[in-house]
Structures are given as C-alpha cells and as structure tokens.
Amino acid sequence: MKIGNKRRWGLIAAGVLCAGCMLYYGIEVVAARIKTPQIVQGILQSDVVVLRLNELSPRQIEILLTVEDPQFYHHKGVDLRTPGAGLTTITQSLVKKLYFREFKPGIRKIKQTLIVRYALDPLIPKDDQLLMFINMHYR
C-alpha cells in the first residue's frame, strides 16, 4: 500500500507542478500581449528606426533573410525545421531584446517561445518585425 500512496502523491505533485507552470506562463503571455502594441509603437515612432525597409533593395532583404531567418514570412515566429537557423528566428531575437534584461538559455527559452508564438508574432506584422530587427540589431 505504501508504494501505491507514494506513486499517487508523486502524480499529484507532478500535476500541481504542471498546473503551476501553465498558470505562470499563461500570465506571462497575457502580460506580453497587453504590453506588445505599446512597446512596438514606441520603437517604431522613436529615433531607433533610422533605416526603413523601402531603403533596402529586394536583393538586400533577400540576403538578410537567407542569413538570419529563411522562412521568416512563412512561420509563426518559431522555426524548428530550417537547418542552421540555430533555433532562433528574427521574432525570437526581438523578444530577447524587448522582454528580457538579460537572456540566458534554458528555461527562459520556454517563456521566449510562448511570447513569440502568442504575443509578438500574431500582433505585429512581419514587415514591422523586420524593420525593428534591422534597426535594433544592425546599429
């Protein structure tokens, strides 16, 4: 009987842990969805943007995307299929800069990926993401 009780308590503990994680990350995503439009609007209207997309040739944009994120216009912020992408897309790079003071790999990657998938990418057009990326990463 004791072994059964230990297993039951283990399953209960695992369930509570999972529920806690889901609640925490759910709150983080909701907070990011609320903050994202103001953050992006502030950046797009600031002196951070010194280079507009129409100042780049289609070939320059093509080269940038080939190097940084080949499937940028075809994925929803996360791309696990492109070889050599390093598992970081343009959108993920933006989230690192906008939502983290200091990004360290590990558990933060979960938060980053959820914000990318459910806050930044669905709320901000791809061209605005690319504009911010160029101006924030290539200064």
Tell which wins on pLDDT, 45 or 2.
Answer: 45
The pLDDT tens digits of the residues spanning 79-109 come to 887 665 556 899 999 999 999 988 888 888 8
Residue 93 identity (one-letter amino acid): S
Distance CA 132, CA 50 (A): 10
What pLDDT digit, counting tens, does each position of 102-136 carry?
888 888 889 999 999 999 999 999 999 999 999 98
pLDDT at res. 8 = 84
Cβ–Cβ under 8 Å, residues 99 and 137: no
Query: Which ranges of 1-139 does DSSP label H, i.e. alpha helix?
Result: 2-44, 58-68, 90-99, 108-115, 121-123, 126-137
Tokens of 101: 């003071």
Domains of the chain by range and CATH? 28-137 (1.10.3810.10)
| 61/97 Cα distance (integer angstroms) | 21
- CA dist 54 and 68 (Å) reads 19
DSSP 119: I
Q: Give the per-residue pLDDT at 62.
A: 95
Structure pTM? 0.82
Give the Cα-Cα-Cα angle 34, 40, 43 (nearest 5 degrees): 140
pLDDT tens readout for residues 8-42? 888 899 999 999 999 999 999 999 999 999 999 99
